[in-house]
Structure 1
Amino acid sequence: MGVTIKDVARKANVSPSTVSRVLADSPKISEKTKQHVRKVIEELGYHTNLNARSLVSKTTQTIGIVLKNSDKEALHSTFAPEVLRGISATCSKYDYNIRLTTGASEEEIYQEVVKMVRGKQVDGIIVLYSKRTDRVVPYLMECEFPFVIIGKPEKNPNKISYVDNDNIQAAMDATNYLIQLGHRQIAFISDDPTYEVAQNRLIGYKQAMNNNYLNVPNEYIHHVKNKYNQGFQVVQKLMSLSAPPTGIVITDDFNALIVLSALQALNKKVPKDVSLISFNNSPISEVTFPKLTSVDIQIYQLGYEAAKLLVTQINEPDHIKKSVIIPCIIKERESCSSRNHEKEN
């Protein structure tokens, strides 16, 4: 017969309910007691019986994950795999399983979320995006169902738990990085503009340009949805302008790879002719030629903290809603260089 909670409680000289609270990481238990009980759990080799726990507590021990796009494109991005790794680390720590939405459209995703909630298939949900026209978040709020957003909510931010970066400041920092290198003609390329993160990064880019009294022509702002043909056309348009950009801020490493390939096809050298700074600091940024300077938004940590907030919300329903802001760091590599203004005059 396997080791039980009672066996752990007996050796740790605590009550079985205390062991249960330690397993749930309850804030009502002191860190000293948690460390003591966890040591005993490790010594005895205790493993949680999830089926038994679910029957007793009437929970599923499962967290639902709503992807930005649930078709094949979602897992091809530089964001989803890493954020899922962070979520998985927390879920593993607290014995939760993960269930992903698999719908190919926004309507299918919404209907899957409804099934999750009404069918009591999950204990809580993490939404991996914030979007103005989204139906998922309003539905979860109406149902008073535990959920956390990665990204700042478009509405009711004080009533929702979320984890995010300061995307306006991060884009300002990325743009200022190019400005400090002497660039004055700087373009901006993001992915889907309907998402909050793309909107805020565009605001940050414009603020940095305006603060430095630099012109922002409409022709300098584009959106590419991770497709090479679309990205090539955008780069071709930019390079054919009478005043083509010498620097480009790109909000995703995958799009940056597309831009880099398009520039090479047009016989433009990076960073000699055009400097690139991107976002996410994914493995892609270290294997391109040249290697990409990229803003590390700490994707793993976004997922890890979001799952922690959700577990707390599930176990402590009255817990105050929180927001967590994860700092960003520019990782300097080889895709940016100083601009010689004599060439422009």
Structure 2
Amino acid sequence: MTITIKDVAKRANVAPSTVSRVIANNPNISMRTKEKVRSVMEELGYYPNVNARNLVNNRTNVIGVIMPSASYAPFQNPFFPEVLRGITAEANEKRYGLYLSTSQTEEAILDEVKDMVHSRRVDGLILLYSTIDDPVIDFLLEKSFPFVIVGQPAEQLREAVSFVNNDNVKAAKMMTEYLLLLKHNRIAFIGGRSDAFVTIDRKSGYCEALEAAGIELDESLMVYHDEIFEGGEKAVIELMSRKTPPSAMIVTDDLMALGVLRMLFSMNISVPDDMSVVSFNNVLMSKLSTPPLTTLDIRIFELGYKAAQMVRQRILDPETPPKGLIVDHHLIRRATSKTYVE
């Protein structure tokens, strides 16, 4: 026999409307009543019809998560599992499901986002990337659809878009100043994709620090590759072929930095004796590398957790004004950096 809300209400000695409010986790229902009703639901084996409830509420209770196109190999980079762990933690607390986009090209991402919005497959979206002239953002703004960016939107959109980010200009400036204090004055910058705001902002911080120190910018020491292991290897080959190679490298991503370390090792260049290397993200592998990597902890889990909180707020109250949230960072000093000695 099918168990209904009325059966639960009768056994718990409450009104059917109270059971419905308990299912919806209504804050006006006392914790004692919630516990009693949930105990009866478990005892009777009653499970709410989520689809029916979502139809009534005109919601899916699903958040879409948009990854960068597969051409940039996001599944190889441990940043993404960690930020997804943060998103999942908040989604689980609020009983939201996740729909993960895995489109292979930027054009396919836009098509998939359009389909999600038009079919109401999700209630809101989290974008795990931010690039110049992204048509996805233009589309979502046009449709007034709830979304949050993990990253930095274009300057002209910062009053219109909700986002969670680090202060990447400040972070990269600090990392560059750290190497300057270690007496390095030929410091290379290894960035990811050049149209990504995280790369643009970190390059800006790097340039600001060098200019403040009176060091002339050398464009030959700035290179850009995909944020994968092989990207770091290619960057080292490019930089070490310069007439005057650097004595230190700032790498915009830990996975790339591992490729940097491997290629330097194969060239018999000792880290940190001959070359200092610093990076960003502080993923698990950074402390397990040889030698352990000096890196900037950008609190990836918190970026994801806060983004999920913000998109849920925008789903529940679409009139909530857009806002930007900056997550702090801190330096983790390990064994890949030391004072430069000529």
TM-aligned CA deviation for residue 81 of structure 1? 0.9
Aligned equivalent of 2:82 = 82
Aligned equivalent of 2:55 = 55
TM-aligned CA deviation for residue 54 of structure 1? 1.1
SS of alignment partner, residue 158 of structure 1: coil
CA distance in 1, matches of 2:11, 2:90: 23
Gaps of 5+ in 2: none
CA distance in 2, matches of 1:72, 1:45: 47
Question: Is the 1:64–1:126 contact (alpha carbons within 8 Å) kept by the matching residues of 2?
Answer: yes
Gaps of 5+ in 1: 24-28
Q: Is 1:124 the counterpart of 2:115 in the alignment?
A: no
TM-aligned CA deviation for residue 216 of structure 1? 2.1
SS of alignment partner, residue 242 of structure 2: coil
TM-aligned CA deviation for residue 18 of structure 1? 5.9
Question: Is the 1:168–1:203 contact (alpha carbons within 8 Å) kept by the matching residues of 2?
Answer: yes
Per-residue CA distance 1:6-28 (angstroms, 9 max, x = gap): 689978xx9567646646xxxxx
Q: Is 1:159 the counterpart of 2:160 in the alignment?
A: yes
Q: Across the two proteins, how many residue pairs are aligned to each other?
A: 333
Question: Is the 1:9–1:19 contact (alpha carbons within 8 Å) kept by the matching residues of 2?
Answer: no
- When residues 165 and 39 of structure 1 are mapped into structure 2, their CA distance, relative to the original with a 3 A threshold, is farther
CA distance in 1, matches of 2:319, 2:140: 16
CA distance in 1, matches of 2:167, 2:36: 41
Aligned equivalent of 1:111 = 111
Per-residue CA distance 1:66-88 (angstroms, 9 max, x = gap): 11124681111122111111111
Aligned equivalent of 1:26 = none
Q: Is 1:91 the counterpart of 2:91 in the alignment?
A: yes
SS of alignment partner, residue 159 of structure 1: coil
Aligned equivalent of 1:144 = 144
214-223 vs 193-202, which deviates more? Answer: 214-223
Per-residue CA distance 1:190-224 (angstroms, 9 max, x = gap): 11011111100000010011111123211110011
Question: Is the 2:175–2:250 contact (alpha carbons within 8 Å) kept by the matching residues of 1?
Answer: yes
- When residues 277 and 40 of structure 1 are mapped into structure 2, their CA distance, relative to the original with a 3 A threshold, is farther
Question: Is the 1:209–1:215 contact (alpha carbons within 8 Å) kept by the matching residues of 2?
Answer: yes
Percentage of identical aligned residues: 33
- When residues 337 and 36 of structure 1 are mapped into structure 2, their CA distance, relative to the original with a 3 A threshold, is farther
Aligned equivalent of 1:248 = 249
The 5 Å alignment of 1:191-340 reads 191-226=192-227, 231-340=232-341
CA distance in 2, matches of 1:61, 1:145: 15
49-58 vs 309-318, which deviates more? Answer: 49-58
CA distance in 2, matches of 1:177, 1:305: 29
SS of alignment partner, residue 254 of structure 1: helix
- When residues 272 and 9 of structure 1 are mapped into structure 2, their CA distance, relative to the original with a 3 A threshold, is farther
TM-score with structure 2 length normalisation?
0.88
TM-aligned CA deviation for residue 58 of structure 1? 2.1
TM-score with structure 1 length normalisation?
0.87
- When residues 9 and 74 of structure 1 are mapped into structure 2, their CA distance, relative to the original with a 3 A threshold, is farther
CA distance in 2, matches of 1:243, 1:54: 63
296-305 vs 235-244, which deviates more? Answer: 235-244
- When residues 34 and 327 of structure 1 are mapped into structure 2, their CA distance, relative to the original with a 3 A threshold, is farther
CA distance in 2, matches of 1:91, 1:292: 32
Per-residue CA distance 1:283-342 (angstroms, 9 max, x = gap): 1201110010111111111010001001111111222222111001111111111112xx
TM-aligned CA deviation for residue 159 of structure 1? 1.3
CA distance in 1, matches of 2:78, 2:257: 11
Q: Is 1:102 the counterpart of 2:102 in the alignment?
A: yes
Aligned equivalent of 1:69 = 69
Amino acid at match of 1:323: G
Question: Is the 1:6–1:16 contact (alpha carbons within 8 Å) kept by the matching residues of 2?
Answer: yes
Question: Is the 2:22–2:37 contact (alpha carbons within 8 Å) kept by the matching residues of 1?
Answer: no
TM-aligned CA deviation for residue 119 of structure 1? 0.8
CA distance in 2, matches of 1:262, 1:34: 61
CA distance in 1, matches of 2:120, 2:322: 22
Per-residue CA distance 1:54-109 (angstroms, 9 max, x = gap): 13212111111111124681111122111111111111111111111121100011
CA distance in 2, matches of 1:177, 1:38: 54
TM-aligned CA deviation for residue 51 of structure 1? 2.4
CA distance in 2, matches of 1:63, 1:91: 8
- When residues 22 and 271 of structure 1 are mapped into structure 2, their CA distance, relative to the original with a 3 A threshold, is same
TM-aligned CA deviation for residue 44 of structure 1? 6.1
- When residues 38 and 210 of structure 1 are mapped into structure 2, their CA distance, relative to the original with a 3 A threshold, is farther
Amino acid at match of 1:112: E
TM-aligned CA deviation for residue 245 of structure 1? 1.2
SS of alignment partner, residue 265 of structure 2: helix
